[in-house]
Amino acid sequence: MGFEPVRFGLIPFSDVISADDPDELLRPAVPFGSTKLIRLWLEDKTPLHWRVFYDTAKFDWRTWAPAIGEFALNDTTMGRVTELGAIKDLKWKQPVFVKPTSDLKAFAGMVVEIGETVAERLAMATQDSSLSDEQPVLWAPHQEIICEYRCYMRGRTMIEASRYRTGLRADHKAVDEIERSHLRIVANEIAERFTPAIFYAMDLAFMPTGSVKVVEYNCINCSGRYEIDRAKLFKAVLGC
pLDDT tens-digit readout, 215-239 = 999 999 999 999 999 999 999 998 7
Domain with CATH 3.30.470.20 in the chain: 147-238
Q: Any idea of the CA torsion for 49, 51, 52, 53, to the nearest 10 degrees?
A: 150
Q: What is the pLDDT of residue 123?
A: 87
Q: How many Å apart are CA 98 and CA 139, to the nearest integer?
A: 4
Buried b (16+ CB within 10 A) or exposed e, 73-91: bbbeeebeeeebeebbeee
Q: 74-141: which CATH architecture?
A: 2-Layer Sandwich (3.30)
Whats the size of the chain, residue-wise?
Answer: 240
Report yes or no: 88 and 96 within 8 Å, Cβ to Cβ. Answer: no
Long-range CB contact pairs, 235-238, < 8 A, 24+: 235/1, 236/154, 236/159, 236/199, 237/30, 237/199, 238/1, 238/3, 238/30
CATH 3.30.470.20 is right for the domain spanning 147-238: yes
Q: How many Å apart are CA 203 and CA 152, to the nearest integer?
A: 9
Q: Decide if pLDDT at 1 tops 80.
A: no
Q: How many Å apart are CA 143 and CA 125, to the nearest integer?
A: 21
Q: What is the pLDDT of residue 128?
A: 58
Report yes or no: 233 and 160 within 8 Å, Cβ to Cβ. Answer: yes
9 pLDDT band (50/70/90 cuts)? very high
More confident residue, 204 or 13: 204
Q: What is the pLDDT of residues 123-173, one digit of tens each?
A: 887 665 558 999 999 999 999 999 999 999 999 999 999 999 999 899 999
Average pLDDT, the chain: 93
* Extended beta strands in 80-197, E state: 80-83, 96-100, 110-112, 136-141, 147-154, 157-166, 169-174
* Alpha-carbon separation of residue 146 from 155, 164, 205 (angstroms): 27, 12, 7
Cβ-proximal residues to 180 (8 Å cutoff; 6+ apart), any chain: 161
Single pTM value for the model = 0.92
In angstroms, how far is the first alpha carbon of the chain from the final one?
15
Q: How many Å apart are CA 18 and CA 222, to the nearest integer?
A: 18
Domain with CATH 3.30.1490 in the chain: 74-141
